[in-house]
Amino acid sequence: MADIRVTGRMVNFTRLTFDTNDHDAIRQQLNTLLDENAYQGALVILDSTVEQELIALIQLLVSLDLQPMAVIDGILGDQARAIQFPVLASDRPLQRIKPTKEQVVEAPVSQQAEAEKTGSIRYITSYHDEILRTGQCLVQDHGDIILKAGINSGSEVIASGNIHIYGSVRGRVIAGVGGNTSARIFCHSLEAELVSIAGTYCVADDIPQHVAKKPVHIYLNDDQELEFEALEF
């Protein structure tokens, strides 16, 4: 009889990207984030755009009740290997494109706290008329994204708010970036590589079959689990 069993489990990881090595600033910002969102005990993957003392950063995150699991290869890679800490391959770079149009409005009530935290009361909706092609990325850090066409595999749509896609979804769709658990995803045909809301994600193999290639509404339920609701037209 084998002494090892391989079983599957959906585990949620949150990626933290650091643009500063000031640990006081990191602690202050994470304390605010943790107070406003249910991230205590979260498994985190670390990335950095600046030189960083990895061991001290790991200790800081552990003290905040986060669980560092690995680093993205790059600035932190050599330090991680030196202490035998897991290293994940860096992302294939995507071409960030500009939307066809943007509309700026006052932040809705549900988004005002986040807007004030970022120093802006603006809420932006990005509209894009063309299909998102492989290797392209459309990002809206302060609002929603509405695409009139679909997205190809190997493309990515990222928004702090909601995402509406009036076409086939074959790439990655990431809504609620920054912890907005009220964000939602709507699409006309769900064939995605990955969908995520506020850090909770589901990969292609785990998307429920009853919504595959159908119009779908995706949201987080009260237990912060992804719900997939087939839409009828």
Would residue 179 be called left, alpha or beta, if left means φ above 0 and alpha means ψ between -120 and 50 degrees? Answer: left
How many CB atoms within 10 Å of residue 170? 20
Q: Average pLDDT in the 93-101 region? A: 86
| pLDDT value of residue 8 | 44
**What whole-number distance in Å separates Cα of residue 119 and Cα of residue 106?**
13
Higher pLDDT, 23 or 111: 23
* Encoded tokens for 22: 């000031």
| pLDDT value of residue 216 | 96
Amino acid, res. 52: Q
Amino acid, res. 138: L
DSSP H/E element including 29 = helix 23-36
Higher pLDDT, 10 or 230: 230
* Encoded tokens for 56: 């001290």
pLDDT tens string 49-76? 899 999 999 999 999 999 999 999 999 9
**What whole-number distance in Å separates Cα of residue 179 and Cα of residue 15?**
12
- Whether the CB-CB separation of 228 and 221 falls below 8 Å is answered with no
- Whether the CB-CB separation of 71 and 54 falls below 8 Å is answered with yes
**What whole-number distance in Å separates Cα of residue 120 and Cα of residue 95?**
26
Report field, pTM of the whole predicted structure over 0.85: no
Where do you find CATH 2.160.20.70 in the chain?
A: 123-228
Fold adopted by 123-228 = Pectate Lyase C-like (2.160.20)
- The answer to whether residue 9 scores a pLDDT higher than 90 is no
